[in-house]
Structure 1
Amino acid sequence: MTALVRNLASHHDATLVTIAILVCLFGGYTLFAIADHSSRVPANRRVLWLGMGAVAGGVTIWATHFIAMLAYRNGMPVAYSAKLTAVSVVVAIAGTMLSVLIGRTMVIAWAKPAAGLALGATISTMHFIGMSAMSTASPMQYDHRIVAWSIVLGTLLTTLAIAAFGFLRRPVARYLSATLLFTAGVGTIHFGSMAAMQMHDHAGPAVSQSVPSLLAIAITFGVIVVIGIALGGARIAAHDMRRDADESERMRSLANLSLEGLIVLDEAGIVIDANKRIDRFLGRPVIGLHIQEILPNVHPAMFTDDLRSEPVESELPRADGSRLPVEVLVHRTTHLRRAALVVVVRDLSERVEAQRRVLHVARHDPLTGLPNRLLFMERLESAVARTARTHGKTALLYIDLDGFKSVNDVFGHTKGDQVLIGTASLIETTLRSGDTLARLGGDEFAIVQSDGDQPEAAERLARRIITEIERGYGNGRGDVSLGASIGIAIAPDDSSEPAVLVRHADIALYKAKEAGRGTYRFFESAMDEALQERHSIEADMRNALAAGEIFLVYQPQMNADTGEITGFEALVRWNHPERGIIPPDAFIPVAEQSGFIVPLGAWILREACREAASWARPLNIAVNLSPVQFQQGALRKRVETTLIDTGLAPERLELEITETALLRDRDATIATLNELKSMGIRIAMDDFGTGYSSLSNLQSFPFDKIKVDRSFVSTIEEDEKAASIVKAVISLGHSLSLPIVAEGVESAEQLAMLRVERCTEIQGYLIGRPLPISAFRHLIDSDASEAGSVAA
Structure 2
Amino acid sequence: MVGFASVLMTLSVVQRAPSGLAKTPGPWWLAATGVAGGGGIWAAHAIALLAFEPLAGRHFDLPIALAAVLIGVASVVGAVMVMAGRRRSTAPFLAAVLLATGFALMHWISLAGLIDSQLLRPSPLLVIAALALMTAVVVAGMLTVWRAGGLHRLIAAASLVVTGGFVGYLLTMSQAGEAAVALSGGLAPPDMSRMAVSFTTMVMVMAVLGVGVAGVLLDRHLARAARVEARRVTDLANVALESIVLLRDDGIVEVNRSFCRLTGQNRDSLIGCRFSELFIDDHRLSVVQALEQPGGPGREFRLAAVGQTEGVPVELSVRETEAHENASRVALLRDLRDQHEAEARIRYLAQHDALTRLPNRALFGDRLAHALQLAERYENPVALLLVDVDRLQEINKLRGQDIGDGVLRQTAKRIKNTVRGSDTVACLGGDTFAVIQEGMDQPHAADKLARRLLTRMGVPLIVNGNEIAATVSIGIAVAPTDALVGSALLAHAESALQRSKDGGRNRHTFYEARMEEERRARQVLGVDLRNALRAGDLHVHFQPVADVGTGSLLGFEALARWTHPERGVVPPGLFIPVAEESGAIVDLGEWMLETVCQEATRWPLACTVAVNISVMQFEKSDLVAQVDGVLERTGLDPARLELEITESVLIHDTDYAVEVLNRLKARGVRIVLDDFGTGYSSLSYLKRFPFDKIKIDRSFVSEIGDSQQSAAIVRGVIGLARGLGVPVVAEGVEQAAHVDMLREEGCDQMQGYLIGRPAPIEDYGDLVFDHPMAAQPE
Q: Same fold (TM over 0.5)?
A: yes
User: 2: CA distance between counterparts of 1:336 and 1:518?
Assistant: 77
Q: Say which of 396, 404, 416 aligns to 1:416.
A: 404
CA 1:659–1:238 in structure 2 vs 1: closer, same or farther (change >3 Å)? closer
* One of 451, 455, 458 as aligned partner of 1:467: 455
Q: CA deviation at 1:642?
A: 1.6
C-alpha spacing 1:251/1:725, structure 2 compared with 1 (3 Å):
closer
> Within 5 Å, which residues of 2 pair with 1:261-410?
261-267=243-249, 269-284=250-265, 285-295=269-279, 296=283, 298-304=286-292, 308-321=295-308, 323-334=311-322, 336=324, 340-410=328-398
Query: In the aligned structure 2, how far is the partner of 1:573 from the partner of 1:470?
Result: 39
The 3-state SS of whatever aligns with 1:557 is strand
CA distance in 1, matches of 2:270, 2:378: 50
- RMSD of aligned residue pairs (Cα, Å): 3.6
* Residue correspondence of structure 1 range 595-674 to structure 2 within 5 A: 595-632=583-620, 634-674=622-662
Deviations 1:563-601 (A, max 9, x none): 322211110112222221112221222222333222221
Identity value in percent: 41
Deviation at 1:652, TM superposition (A): 0.4
1:445 is matched with which residue? Answer: 433
Quick check: 2:144–2:153 contact (8 Å CA) kept in 1? no
Distance 2:151 2:424 in 1: 67
Q: Which amino acid aligns with 2:536?
A: G
Q: CA deviation at 1:544?
A: 1.9
Contact preservation (8 Å) 1:473, 1:483: no
Shift of 1:393: 2.3
- What do the CA deviations read for 1:2-28 (whole angstroms, capped 9, x no partner)? xxxxxxxxxxxxxxxxxxxxxxxxxxx
Instruction: Tell me the secondary structure at the aligned position of residue 334 of structure 1.
Output: coil
1:531, 1:240 → 2: CA distance?
97
User: What secondary structure, in the 3-state scheme, does the structure 2 residue paired with 1:256 have?
Assistant: helix
Measured in 2, the distance between the counterparts of 1:594 and 1:735 equals 41
2:731, 2:750 within 8 Å by CA — same for their partners in 1? yes
* Displacement after TM superposition at 1:742 (Å): 2.4
Specify whether residues 647 and 301 from structure 1 end up closer, same or farther in structure 2 by C-alpha distance, changes over 3 A only.
same
Equivalent residues of 1:399, 1:446 under 8 A apart: yes
Asked if structure 2 preserves the Cα contact closer than 8 Å seen for 1:42 and 1:338, the reply is no
Tell me the SS of whatever aligns to 1:429. helix
Q: CA separation in 1, counterparts of 2:153 and 2:569?
A: 106
1:701 aligns with 2:689: yes
Deviations 1:324-354 (A, max 9, x none): 3332222233354578232221233333333
Question: What is the match of residue 555 of structure 1?
Answer: 543
* CA deviation string 1:20-66 (max 9, x = no partner): xxxxxxxxxxxxxxxxxxxxx99845468999xxxxxxxxxxxxxxx
In the TM superposition, what whole-angstrom CA distance separates every residue of 1:590-648 from its partner, at most 9, and x where no partner exists? 22233322222111111111111222222211111112233236222221222112111
Question: Given that residues 326 and 345 in structure 1 are in contact (C-alpha distance below 8 angstroms), is that contact kept between their aligned partners in structure 2?
Answer: yes
Distance, in Å, in 2 between the alignment partners of 1:678 and 1:241 is 108
> In 2, Cα distance between the equivalents of 1:255 and 1:731?
85
> SS of the residue aligned with 1:712?
helix
C-alpha distance in 2 between matches for 1:746 and 1:462 = 39
Partners of 2:526 and 2:578 within 8 A in 1? yes
Shift in Å, 1:375: 1.5
Q: 1:392 to 1:615 in 2, by over 3 A?
A: same
Deviation at 1:770, TM superposition (A): 1.4
Kept after mapping to 2: 8 A contact 1:42/1:337 = no
Query: Which structure has the greater CA radius of gyration?
Result: 2
Question: Structure 2: which amino acid aligns with 1:310?
Answer: P
Match of 2:509 among 521, 524, 537: 521
Shift of 1:728: 4.1
Cα deviations by residue, 1:632-688 (Å, 9 ceiling, x for unpaired): 362222212221121111100011122232222223222222222221111222222
**Contact 2:92–2:143 under 8 Å retained in 1:** no
d(CA) in 2 for partners of 1:566, 1:236: 119
The CA deviation at 1:747 is 3.8
User: Mean alpha-carbon deviation: is it higher for 525-534 or for 743-752?
Assistant: 743-752
Q: Distance in 2 between matches of 1:241 and 1:621?
A: 118
Partner residue in 2 for 1:151: none
**2:701 is matched with which residue?**
713
Cα gap change, 1:457/1:719 in structure 2, threshold over 3 Å: closer, same or farther? closer
2:565 aligned partner: 577
Partner Cα distance (1:241, 1:257) in 2:
35
Q: Distance in 2 between matches of 1:566 and 1:617?
A: 10
Larger deviation, residues 741-750 vs 591-600: 741-750
- Structure 2 CA distance for aligned equivalents of residues 335 and 588 of structure 1: 84
Conserved 8 A contact 2:607-2:775: no
Q: Distance in 2 between matches of 1:749 and 1:693?
A: 26
Alignment of 1:56-135 (within 5 A): none
| TM-score of the superposed pair, with normalisation by structure 1 | 0.66
CA distance in 2 between partners of 1:729 and 1:562 (Å): 21
Secondary structure of the residue aligned to 1:690 is coil
Q: Distance in 2 between matches of 1:421 and 1:750?
A: 45
Amino acid across the alignment from 1:465: L
Q: For 1:264 and 1:475, how far apart are their aligned partners in 2? A: 60
How many Å apart are 1:731 and its aligned residue? 4.1
How far apart, CA to CA, are the structure 2 residues paired with 1:531 and 1:395?
A: 21
State the Cα distance separating 1:446 from its structure 2 match: 1.3
Match for residue 59 of structure 1?
Answer: none
Q: Answer yes or no: is the 8 Å Cα contact 2:386–2:476 preserved in 1.
A: yes
* Conserved 8 A contact 1:744-1:764: yes
How is 1:423-438 mapped onto 2 (pairs within 5 angstroms)?
A: 423-438=411-426
Q: Structure 1 496/780 Cα, relative in aligned 2: closer, same or farther at 3 Å?
A: same
CA distance in 2 between partners of 1:43 and 1:344 (Å)? 29
Moved more, 746-755 or 326-335: 746-755
Residue aligned with 2:754, SS: coil
Please, which moves more after superposition, 481-490 or 308-317? Answer: 308-317
Give the number of equivalent residue pairs.
576
Please, which of 725, 733, 751 is the counterpart of residue 737 of structure 1? 725
CA offset at residue 492 of structure 1? 2.2
Counterpart CA distance in 2 for 1:577 and 1:47 is: 110
Number of the residue aligned with 1:537: 525
CA distance in 1, matches of 2:331, 2:571: 79
Instruction: Tell me if the contact between 1:558 and 1:763 (Cα under 8 Å) persists in the aligned partners.
Output: yes
For structure 2, the 5+ residue unaligned runs are: 1-83, 95-131, 155-222
Distance 1:561 1:728, change over 3 A: same
- Distance in 1, matches of 2:724 and 2:393, equals 29
Q: Is residue 92–residue 146 contact of structure 2 (8 Å, CA) maintained in 1?
A: no
Aligned with residue 554 of structure 2, among 559, 563, 566: 566
Q: Which amino acid aligns with 2:680?
A: Y
Give the corresponding residue for 2:100: none
3-state SS, counterpart of residue 343 of structure 1: strand
1:591 aligns with 2:579: yes
- Among candidates 235, 240, 258, match of residue 240 of structure 2: 258
> Following superposition of structure 1 onto structure 2, how do residues 228-267 of structure 1 map, counting pairs within 5 Å?
236=147, 238-239=149-150, 251-267=233-249
Distance 2:322 2:149 in 1: 20
Q: 1:476 to 1:579 in 2, by over 3 A?
A: farther
Comparing 231-240 and 523-532, the one that deviates more: 231-240
Give the corresponding residue for 2:72.
Answer: none
CA distance in 2, matches of 1:270, 1:462: 65
Q: Which amino acid aligns with 1:783?
A: H
Give distance in 2, aligned partners of 1:690 and 1:507: 26
Deviation at 1:262, TM superposition (A): 1.6
SS at match of 1:783: coil
Deviations 1:673-705 (A, max 9, x none): 222222111122222222313544333332222
Change (3 A) 1:717 1:255: closer
Quick one: distance in 1 between partners of 2:151 and 2:440? 75
Partners of 1:492 and 1:431 lie apart in 2 by 21
Find the aligned partners of 1:289 and 1:541 in 2 and give their Cα distance.
84
